[in-house]
């Protein structure tokens, strides 16, 4: 590729990676006991299995969880920051010695700043705003971003934004709103940001980074900022934009991996056609192999999440209903309800296929296209409208009716089969409840497997699948998101188990330090 020319955007991205100097390991950072750290890490893994989150946001969620637990009885930044950092180091969310006492002081100031913001907002008595929940989300996001020194994801996200925003059009809305939606979609699909991170990024764009100087301005305009951010996060077309962005990500994902591994040599690598192609193919192959591991982990997490939740429902709702109305417990429907849906999910997940070499060729061609053009050809642009097509009102009505027909047929068939198996009303409702969740988990796992697949034409049976199964999957998504907020095991762990556990960890660490001191005194 002697005559190959990088586009302006590609050149800026590569230059940013070239100028990035890896920070040396902090010598005076905070140390934690390795034995305590091992126990805390296993505890954290168990806790995260029951909280179905993407691993990319687990650290932020842990920060939020620790803040809530430690601030429940009051306190300030000076009292909270040190224990917070130690807990994060115990669980290996950050490497040992990677956080300094100076950074702990910065975290303390940030905590005090957001607690002051919380107090000011509460005093304004703003209605319809979950002040505590929002402040914890913003604060945990700010701390995570400050402590996480790797900015690669942000750089690549910005690059993707400038490429993809040109290929998305909303015919009846402002360009500003469209750009915000593209930004949100990229943060959701590429950076894997959760709603808390999205709130933080949008608040940061609206107000700027919170500090002592702009705090009064943020407080006085908080309602307007909150309403605008919430409006953007609930935008009517957000899911369609995110779906389009997700389909365009494979070449960015693979090239991003290459850049992080070949940080100082990427420019010379691109000039060597054969070697560059080999590296792309090798990187893609590694990613394809990791897909199987990710699918297996997702299956295990989903099955545990479902089984734990289903045991609660089966014995607190279904068994109680049977005793009350049937005079006995119908064990067969309970057993089917507990074990059959997860079993079906495992079977469906095992049938998921990984991409092939032809897919890698398509990825390689797109990478070349992206690197050499400021406005690369990415297939058909996405053209959307906020309002339904008024030229075909009858057709739109028919489509809506067909959606309801699909819903009735799908769930009607399930209810018919269950009635033949003598399921009670409660057993039927619970089966449908969890079957919908299983369908959503399976669909999400299949999307994980397809995260490196460049889309081809839809399969022959895709319309049939969409017609009958999408109503179930959509219901499952809503139920899963709602249930994750009500998971009784999460509350038990967070408020009844975690506090004494962490106090035991703290005691053990101090005890080990005491023993080490006595041993050193012996020479």
Mean pLDDT for 12-20 is 85
Residue 96 clears pLDDT 70, i.e. is over it: yes
Q: What is the dihedral of CA 483, 488, 491, 497, to 10 degrees?
A: -150
Q: What is the pLDDT of residue 236?
A: 92
Share of the chain above pLDDT 70, in %: 79
In the block, residue with structure tokens 């058909």: 380
How far apart, in whole angstroms, are the C-alpha atoms of residue 440 and residue 448? 12
Cα 510 to Cα 488: distance, rounded to the nearest angstrom:
32
Q: Residue 147 pLDDT > 60, yes or no?
A: yes
Label residue 24 by pLDDT band (50, 70, 90).
very low
pLDDT tens track for 257-280 = 999 888 878 888 988 889 999 999
Model confidence pLDDT, tens digit, residues 219-236: 999 999 999 999 999 999
Q: What is the mean pLDDT of residues 288-293?
A: 79
Distance CA 4, CA 442 (A): 43
CA atoms within 13 Å, Cβ hemisphere of 367: 26
CA distance 332 to 124: 56
214, two tokens: 């702009």
Q: Give the tens place of pLDDT for each residue, 381-403.
A: 899 988 766 556 677 677 778 77
Stretch among 63-77, 158-172, 320-334 having the lowest mean pLDDT: 320-334
Asked if pLDDT for residue 23 goes beyond 60, the answer is no
Beta-bridge partners for 409: none
Residue 471 is predicted with a pLDDT of 77
230-253 per-position pLDDT tens digit: 999 999 999 999 999 999 999 999
Report which DSSP code applies to 454: P
Residues 453, 355 contacting (CB under 8 angstroms)? yes
Tally the residues of the chain: 523
CA–CA distance, 202 with 224 (Å, rounded to integer): 13
Alpha helices in 248-330 (DSSP H): 250-261, 266-271, 273-313, 319-321
Q: Which whole number is the average pLDDT over 92-98?
A: 88
Does residue 164 register a pLDDT over 60?
yes
Tokens of 436: 């919908």
Burial class (CB in 10 A: 0-12, 13-18, 19+), 175: exposed
C-alpha span between 193 and 199 (Å, rounded): 10
Tokens of 111: 């905590």
Q: Which helix (H) or strand (E) holds 170?
A: strand 168-170
* pTM of the shown model: 0.79
Query: Any idea what DSSP says for residue 342?
Result: H
Report helix, strand or coil for 373: coil
Q: Grade residue 414 by pLDDT with cuts at 50, 70 and 90.
A: confident
pLDDT > 90: percent of the chain = 35
Tokens of residue 17, six digits: 């990676």
């Amino acid at each position: 590729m002697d005559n190959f020319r990088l586009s302006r955007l590609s050149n800026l991205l590569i230059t940013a990676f070239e100028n990035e100097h890896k920070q040396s390991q902090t010598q005076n950072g905070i140390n934690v006991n390795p034995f305590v750290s091992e126990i805390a890490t296993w505890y954290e893994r168990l806790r995260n299995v029951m909280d179905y989150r993407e691993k990319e946001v687990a650290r932020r969620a842990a920060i939020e969880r620790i803040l809530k637990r430690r601030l429940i009885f009051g306190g300030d930044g000076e009292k909270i920051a040190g224990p917070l950092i130690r807990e994060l180091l115990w669980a290996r969310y950050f490497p040992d010695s990677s956080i300094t006492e100076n950074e702990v002081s910065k975290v303390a100031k940030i905590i005090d700043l957001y607690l002051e913001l919380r107090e000011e907002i509460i005093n304004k008595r703003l209605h319809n705003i979950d002040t505590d929940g929002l402040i914890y989300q913003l604060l945990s996001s700010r701390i995570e971003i400050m402590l996480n020194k790797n900015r690669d994801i942000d750089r690549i996200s910005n690059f993707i934004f400038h490429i993809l925003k040109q290929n998305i059009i909303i015919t009846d809305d402002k360009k500003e709103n469209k750009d915000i939606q593209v930004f949100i979609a990229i943060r959701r699909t590429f950076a894997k940001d959760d709603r808390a991170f999205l709130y933080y990024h949008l608040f940061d764009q609206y107000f700027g980074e919170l500090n002592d100087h702009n705090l009064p301005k943020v407080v006085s305009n908080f309602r307007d900022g909150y309403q605008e951010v919430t409006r953007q996060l609930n935008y009517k077309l957000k899911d369609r934009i995110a779906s389009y962005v997700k389909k365009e990500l494979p070449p960015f994902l693979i090239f991003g991996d290459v850049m992080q591994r070949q940080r100082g040599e990427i420019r010379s690598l691109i000039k060597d056609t054969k070697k560059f192609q080999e590296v792309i193919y090798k990187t893609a192959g590694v990613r394809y192999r990791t897909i199987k591991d990710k699918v297996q982990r997702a299956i295990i997490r989903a099955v545990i999440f479902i089984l734990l939740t289903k045991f609660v429902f089966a014995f607190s709702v279904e068994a109680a209903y049977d005793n009350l109305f049937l005079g006995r417990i119908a064990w067969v429907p309970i057993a089917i309800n507990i074990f059959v849906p997860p079993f079906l999910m495992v079977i469906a997940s095992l049938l998921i296929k990984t991409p092939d070499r032809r897919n890698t060729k398509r990825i390689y061609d797109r990478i070349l296209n992206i690197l050499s053009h400021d406005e690369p050809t990415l297939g058909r642009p996405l053209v959307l409208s906020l309002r339904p097509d008024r030229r075909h009102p009858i057709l739109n009505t028919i489509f809506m009716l067909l959606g309801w027909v699909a819903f009735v047929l799908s769930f009607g068939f399930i209810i018919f089969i269950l009635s033949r198996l003598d399921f009670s009303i409660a057993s039927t409702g619970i089966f449908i409840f969890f079957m919908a969740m299983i369908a959503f988990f399976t669909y999400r796992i299949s999307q994980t497997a397809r995260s490196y697949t460049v889309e081809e034409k839809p399969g022959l049976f895709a319309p049939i699948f969409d017609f009958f199964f999408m109503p179930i999957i959509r219901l499952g998504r809503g139920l899963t998101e709602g249930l994750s907020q009500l998971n009784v095991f999460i509350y038990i762990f967070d408020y009844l188990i975690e506090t004494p556990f962490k106090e035991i960890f703290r005691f053990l660490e101090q005890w080990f330090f005491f023993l080490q001191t006595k041993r050193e005194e012996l020479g």
